[in-house]
Structure 1
Amino acid sequence: MSYNITDGDQELLQLLQGGSREAYLQVYKKYQRLLFLYAFRKLNNQEEAEDVVQEVFISFWDKCSKLSAEVSIAGYLYRAVRNRALNIFAHREIENKYLESLDTFLESNYESADTLIRERQIRALITAEIERLPPKMREIFELSRNGHLSYKEIALELDISEYTVGTQIKRALKVLRTKLGACIFLHLFF
């Protein structure tokens, strides 16, 4: 027995519950376009809307034999489309949160890595310029900055006057400030 698209849903449901593929095709023809438009209005994405409608019809075929005789086919299908659209929205939200946290993680690690690289480059530049200082000036400067010795302690260790120590450190700082520039020179102290 053949049913047209205009036949009632209850009769189609009875045929579906009996496994009628023809009844299923009639339901598909009757609701496919309407469900697509409904899904598209919700999702604003043609591919997702088409996928949702296809999934709903596959699920409907699998479940139609178990549906109650009082179920409205239209109500069932529209509700299924709405629920799948809500699942897509939830998935999008989770995906967006994941991507945001990934971006934040990558940005902070990139900034940290970039800062470390710059600091290493600056340290290498400073070290190279310190090594270019005359030997005695470099020794005095390194005892002061790296050894954390006072002028008096350096003078005692090297058997020179405190005045000489002070003069050599001032000259070393002047040379470094000139060669390294103000910004990098400040890095020496921080």
Structure 2
Amino acid sequence: MSQALTENTLLKGIRDGEEIAVRHLFDLYYRPLCYYAEKLTGDKAEAQDVAVNVFLKLLQKKADFEHLYEIRAFLYVAARNACIDIYRQKKRHERSLEEIQYLLPPENDKDDLDLIDTKIMQRLFQEIESLPPQCSKVFKLLFLNKLDTREIARQMRISPKTVLNQKAKAIRLLRVALLKGGSLVAILRAAVGHVMN
């Protein structure tokens, strides 16, 4: 049997959708296509997907080929184009990620804000601890434990009116303590100074 006849038989089998012919063509070109696509994409799994998809495209166009070399050329050109598309998609994806990153505050800014919050909270807790005992307890139960006035009154065995008075007193004392001598401003300056260094 001549080589030309073998090619003609293979081409006819492919055009007719014969499984043996398609399998032979697949076995002939699948591995080389995977290797070629992997060299272009740098990703083995992606390369295998490219090779399979290229064969599926070939089967849709199987009637268009007169010679085996046309099929080979189609497979490699289609594989190259698919790899270029993958590269372009990755670049578009990277650009989109860069744009999103640009819109988000930088991680350092978030860390800086966390540092400022921490310093302010640290100072606030120090001041809460230095309140008169009943005042401090009411404030903690209200704002930290999230209990309501009646529950605090019952738990501390005082009247709801006393709870409200202690709350008002705690807020007033904390405000004075934090604003006294610009201590809140000093906290902010110290935190911002640390951030700038």
Q: What TM-score, normalized to structure 1?
A: 0.56
Q: Match of 1:40, as an amino acid?
A: E
Whole-Å Cα distance in 2 between the matches of residues 29 and 90 of structure 1?
29
Whole-Å Cα distance in 1 between the matches of residues 28 and 100 of structure 2?
45
Q: What TM-score, normalized to structure 2?
A: 0.55
Distance 1:109 1:46, change over 3 A: closer
Q: Percent identity?
A: 24
Cα displacement (A) at 1:128: 6.9
Whole-Å Cα distance in 1 between the matches of residues 189 and 17 of structure 2?
85
Q: Say yes or no: does 1:88 pair with 2:133.
A: no
Alignment-derived partner of residue 103 in structure 2: 105
Alignment-derived partner of residue 78 in structure 1: 76
List alignment gaps of at least 5 residues for structure 1.
Answer: 139-171
Q: Deviations over 1:45-92 (max 9, x none)?
A: 110011111111122122213x14256111011011111111110111
List alignment gaps of at least 5 residues for structure 2.
Answer: 125-171, 191-197
User: 2:66 is paired with a residue of what secondary structure?
Assistant: coil
Alpha carbons 1:14, 1:69 under 8 Å: kept: no
Identify the match of residue 34 of structure 2 among 33, 36, 54: 36
Distance 1:75 1:129, change over 3 A: same
Alignment-derived partner of residue 61 in structure 2: 63
Give the structure with higher Rg (CA): 1
Query: What is the correspondence of 1:117-128 to structure 2 with a 5 Å cutoff?
Result: 118=116
Whole-Å Cα distance in 2 between the matches of residues 75 and 47 of structure 1?
23
Distance 1:184 1:44, change over 3 A: closer
Alignment-derived partner of residue 50 in structure 1: 48
User: 1:19 is paired with a residue of what secondary structure?
Assistant: coil
Alignment-derived partner of residue 17 in structure 1: 15
Alignment-derived partner of residue 164 in structure 1: none
Whole-Å Cα distance in 1 between the matches of residues 85 and 111 of structure 2?
38
User: 2:75 is paired with a residue of what secondary structure?
Assistant: helix
Q: Match of 2:105, as an amino acid?
A: E
**After the TM superposition, which parts of structure 1 deviate over 6 Å for at least 4 consecutive aligned residues?**
none
Distance 1:181 1:113, change over 3 A: closer
User: 1:69 is paired with a residue of what secondary structure?
Assistant: coil
Q: Match of 2:50, as an amino acid?
A: V
Distance 1:128 1:95, change over 3 A: farther
User: 1:72 is paired with a residue of what secondary structure?
Assistant: helix
Distance 1:112 1:46, change over 3 A: closer
Distance 1:95 1:128, change over 3 A: farther
Distance 1:99 1:58, change over 3 A: same
Q: Say yes or no: does 1:131 pair with 2:176.
A: yes
